[in-house]
Structure 1
Amino acid sequence: MILTARIDAEQAGLRLDDAAKAIFPQLSKGEIRRVIDWGGCNLNQTLVRVASRQVKEGEELALGIMDAERCIDLVYQKHELLYEDKDFLAVYKGAGFNSQRTPYQLKGTVEYAVECYMKSIGLRDPSRVVHRLDRGTSGVMFFPKHKQAATLISNLLKEGKVQKTYWALVSGSPDEQSWKVDAPLDKVSKFRYGVSLKGKPARTVFYVLGEGNGVSAIEAKPLTGRTHQIRVHLAHSGFPIIGDESYGGVPAARMMLHCRAMRFTGPKGKVIEAVAPLDVDFLAAAPQGVFEQQEQPAG
């Protein structure tokens, strides 16, 4: 929910948090300060994170209200990175975290945590989100450390030259051990996509890794990079992802989709790859024995 108002003569000159309290009395001062601290406050469409900042008459105030339970800080330390060199770094994105900032939030996103890490090692470049994972998806995210690296990986992504491997858990048992979905995707509502002849080309190859207790572990290799591609293609195949209720999946602790690995060729022909571990909830829901031998659960 985003609340908007214009600063009038009565609030002009007040601290930002005091002005917001006067305009939106239904919010506590603590809630307002949390919104400001977490990057959900804008004045004239510019992010403001200083509660003591004086407001001026005529300024447009916007507050993005986010549930308090979603305010979970995220910090990356060097030993936690999945990959790092002078051009790129890769991090593990946990399920439930946003890849990039939203109108409600800056702090607690992967984008912000990576930028804080880059500043801690002396880099001045911002964190550039060149690809993203849905909030419910876990796994590998790559970030370029400078503009030239951003251009390189962005072009590779557009050309389909970044190899991505996803793991998913679905209900039921596919008839085939592998299959390919070649079905264009288009937006069907604000938050959902679907197969449509008018959509953009989308292709995914699927493999069955193992089955047990009515659950199948699936490996997905997207050959294109459309929004919600794997989620929609699995639902289109009759096997929606467990926890993905938007596309018909049964309820679960989380959406059981994980970006296991990303691989591409970097500067001077260097092969760059990162692999992300599974979390405890994913392992607990998976068919027994499919992943245990190769996994150390993510925290």
Structure 2
Amino acid sequence: MILAATVGPEQAGMRLDDGAKALFPQLSKGEIRRIIDWGGCTVSNTLARVASRALKEGEELVLGVMEQERRIDLVYRREDLLYEDSSFMAINKAPGINSQRTPYQLKGTVEYAVSVYLRETGIKEPARVIHRLDRGTSGVMFFPKNKRAATHISLLLKEGRVEKVYWALVDTLPDEERWTVDAPIAKLNKFRYGVAFPGKEAVTHFRTLAAGSGAVLVEARPVTGRTHQIRVHLTHCGLPILGDTTYGGASAPRMMLHCRQMCFRSSDGRKVSAVAPVDPAFLEECRARSIDLSPLLQPSP
């Protein structure tokens, strides 16, 4: 929920937290301070993190009220990383975590946790989000550690030269073992995208990995990187992802979409690759539906 108000003469000169309390009496002082601390407050479109800063008449104060369950103090340590060198790092994003800051929060996002990690390891660079995973999607996310690396991987992503492998659970057996969807994607409303003309070019290669009881594990390899691309293309095929209620997927503990692997070449030709283990909820859903992941989880020879 977003709350917005303009600072009037009565609030001018007040501390940010006191002025917010006066403008939004339905919130407690403690809740307002938590919103400020978690990065859910802007003053005239600028992020405000200091509760004691003075307000000025005419400033626009906006608060993003975040659900309690989203307040996860996300921290990455070196042993948590999937990959790290002098130019890149990769993390395993958990489902339910935002990839980057939102109007509701800064802390508790992957972007913020990576920025803290970089600072704590002596790197004075921002966390550059060069690709993202939807909140409900888990798996590999790469972050460049410097501007040169960011430019390099951004170009590779634009040219479709980053290999991305996703796993998705659907509830219907596809008609073919391997198939490709080449269909443009456009935004339909605030929350949904769909195959539409005109739209942005989108290509995804699919194949069936395993079939169980009422569910099928599908591999997706997106060539392009459109918002919701795999979700939209599977829905277009009549195969909505389990747990993806936005696109008509059947009920599941979480949206069953996982970025299993990303691979590309560095500017000096080195292979850069990360593989993300699946989380317990994904594993349990596979077990419950008689899908054996063990052969797929073995390391490549």
Compute the TM-score of the two structures, normalised by the length of structure 2. Answer: 0.96
Give the deviation of 1:7 after TM superposition.
Answer: 1.4
Task: Give 1:173-188 correspondences, 5 Å limit.
Answer: 173-188=173-188
Aligned to 1:274: 274
Q: How does 1:213-292 map to 2 (within 5 A)?
A: 213-286=213-286, 287-292=289-294
Where does residue 11 of structure 1 map in the other structure? 11
* Structure 1 residue aligned with 2:33: 33
> Which residue of 2 is the match for residue 107 of structure 1?
107
> 1:177 Cα deviation (Å)?
1.2
1:195 has 2:195 as partner = yes
Q: Partner residue of 2:73?
A: 73
Judge which range, 14-23 or 109-118, deviates more.
Answer: 14-23
Partner of 1:20: 20
1:86 matched residue in structure 2: 86
Whole-angstrom CA distance in 2 between matches of 1:193 and 1:7: 37
Q: Residue 193 of structure 1: CA displacement?
A: 0.7
Cα distance in 2 for residues equivalent to 1:196 and 1:111: 31
Aligned pairs for 1:41-80 (under 5 A) are: 41-80=41-80
Contact preservation (8 Å) 2:3, 2:63: yes
Query: For residue 28 of structure 1, what is the amino acid of its counterpart?
Result: S
Is the 8 Å Cα contact of residues 40 and 106 (structure 1) preserved in structure 2?
A: yes
Q: Is the 8 A contact 1:98 1:135 kept in 2?
A: yes
Summarize the Cα distance change of 1:193–1:289 in structure 2 as closer, same or farther, 3 Å threshold.
closer
Report the residue type matching 1:291 in the other structure.
L
Partner of 1:130: 130
How far did 1:267 drift? 2.1
CA distance in 2, matches of 1:20, 1:223: 46
Quote the Cα distance in structure 1 between the aligned partners of 2:189 and 2:10: 41
CA contact 1:209–1:290 (8 Å) conserved in 2: no
Deviation of 1:57 after TM superposition, in Å, equals 2.0
Write out per-residue CA displacement over residues 115-134 of structure 1, whole angstroms, 9 at most, x where no aligned residue: 00000001111000000000
Could you tell me how far apart the structure 1 residues matched to 2:223 and 2:156 are? 12
The CA deviation string for residues 126-147 of structure 1, in whole angstroms up to 9 with x for no partner, is 0000000000000000000010
> Which moves more between the two structures, 279-288 or 116-125?
279-288
Local SS of the residue matching 2:268:
helix
In structure 1, C-alpha distance between the alignment counterparts of 2:143 and 2:277, rounded to whole Å = 18
Determine helix, strand or coil for the equivalent of 2:151. helix
Per-residue deviation, residues 73-107 of structure 1 (Å, max 9, x unmatched): 11000011000000000001000000000111100
The aligned residue for residue 142 of structure 1 is 142
Aligned residue for 1:221, secondary structure, equals strand
The offset of 1:5, in angstroms, is: 1.2
Shift of 1:288: 3.2
CA distance, structure 2, for counterparts of residue 168 and residue 289 of structure 1: 12
Q: Extract unaligned runs of 5+ from structure 1.
A: none
Q: 8 Å contact 1:133–1:141 — kept in the other structure?
A: yes
Maintained 8 Å contact 1:167/1:219: yes
TM-score (norm 1): 0.96
Cα distance, 1:208 vs structure 2: 0.7
Contact 2:138 2:258 in 1 (8 A): yes
- Secondary structure, aligned partner of 2:246: helix
Q: State the Cα distance separating 1:294 from its structure 2 match.
A: 5.2
Q: SS in structure 1 opposite 2:105? A: coil
Deviates more, 1:67-76 or 1:124-133: 67-76
User: What is the CA-CA distance between 1:179 and the residue it aligns to?
Assistant: 1.0
CA deviations over 1:232-263 (Å, ceiling 9, x no partner): 11111111000001111012111000000000
CA 1:208–1:139: 2 relative to 1, 3 Å: same
Q: Distance in 2 between matches of 1:96 and 1:236?
A: 24
Q: Is the 8 A contact 1:41 1:63 kept in 2?
A: yes
* Secondary structure of residue in 2 paired with 1:269: coil
Counterpart of 1:66 in structure 2: which amino acid? Answer: M
Q: 1:71 to 1:235 in 2, by over 3 A?
A: same
